[in-house]
Amino acid sequence: MLNKAAFAEIPDVPEEAPLVVFVDLAGFKAVNDGFGHAVGDAVLREVGTRLSAAADQFAGVAYHLSGDEFAMVFSQDEQRDPDLMAAVASDLGRVEVPVEGRPASASVELFFGFAPRDLEQTLAELLKRAERAADEAKDLRQPWVEWTPELGSDEIVNWRRKCAGCGASTSLQVRKRKVAEPQSGLCANCGSVLPITVGT
Ligand SMILES: [Zn+2]
């Protein structure tokens, strides 16, 4: 399977901007912790095999970027994209590998983020968008999400808040896109709820 270096070598040809897919695995750490690294590696190999087969179906290429991160790249064909997204993501919601001597098989869930053609963007930027979309899919527990501008490309912002209860300062991570929605964090020192409001 092609790796991250191979992904980085894909030339940026704007007029041929591809559809980029980021694949995020959920449950991989639990597999490694519960079954050991050999089983973890077997799960990653199986994910790679399945993704390569899915990519082949639509004349795409799958990449193993690192650890539990995979990507796929498809030449652009806007007519085909909706079918591709539904087919790839729904066929591959879960990958299971039987483990010798254990009743339960090792399994991971796959979440897909799709970043469609954008003539203005480099491949690296499209990958970032796809990753953001996959992250959103994982959050929403839905098989896949297609990137839209409202997801933004920079996802997390750090906010420092002084706790009204104990006076300690706490760093809170907030999703920028969701800043307009009511959010709160907890004081790291006393556990008081710290409200987060726009513009503060
Ligand atoms: Zn506090």
Same domain, 178 and 115: no
- At 109 the pLDDT is 95
For ligand 1, the distance from its centroid to the CA atom of residue 181, given in whole angstroms, is 23
For ligand 1, the distance from its centroid to the CA atom of residue 185, given in whole angstroms, is 11
Number of domains in the chain: 2
Same domain, 117 and 171: no
Domain encompassing residue 144:
2-151
In 3D space, the residue among 94, 95, 115, 84 whose CA is nearest the CA of residue 20 turns out to be 115
What are the φ/ψ torsions at residue 188 (nearest 5 degrees)?
Answer: -70, -20
For ligand 1, the distance from its centroid to the CA atom of residue 178, given in whole angstroms, is 24
In 3D space, the residue among 115, 145, 110, 125 whose CA is nearest the CA of residue 26 turns out to be 110
For ligand 1, the distance from its centroid to the CA atom of residue 187, given in whole angstroms, is 5
Same domain, 48 and 115: yes
Same domain, 171 and 117: no
For ligand 1, the distance from its centroid to the CA atom of residue 172, given in whole angstroms, is 13
Q: For residue 137, how many other CB atoms are within 10 A of its CB?
A: 24
* Whole-number Å distance between alpha carbons of 88 and 24: 14
Same domain, 18 and 77: yes
Per-residue pLDDT of the chain (200 residues; tens, 9 = 90+): 899 999 999 888 877 778 999 999 999 999 999 999 999 999 999 999 999 999 999 989 999 999 899 999 998 777 788 888 888 888 888 999 999 888 889 999 999 999 988 888 889 999 999 999 998 898 888 999 999 887 865 566 777 888 888 999 888 777 665 545 556 678 888 988 887 654 43
Reduce the DSSP state of residue 188 to 3 states and report it. coil
Alpha helices, DSSP H only, in 58-108? Answer: 81-91
Same domain, 111 and 161: no
For ligand 1, the distance from its centroid to the CA atom of residue 164, given in whole angstroms, is 7
CATH code at position 146: 3.30.70.270
Query: Which tokens sit at 41?
Result: 């590696």
For ligand 1, the distance from its centroid to the CA atom of residue 171, given in whole angstroms, is 12
* Whole-number Å distance between alpha carbons of 196 and 185: 7
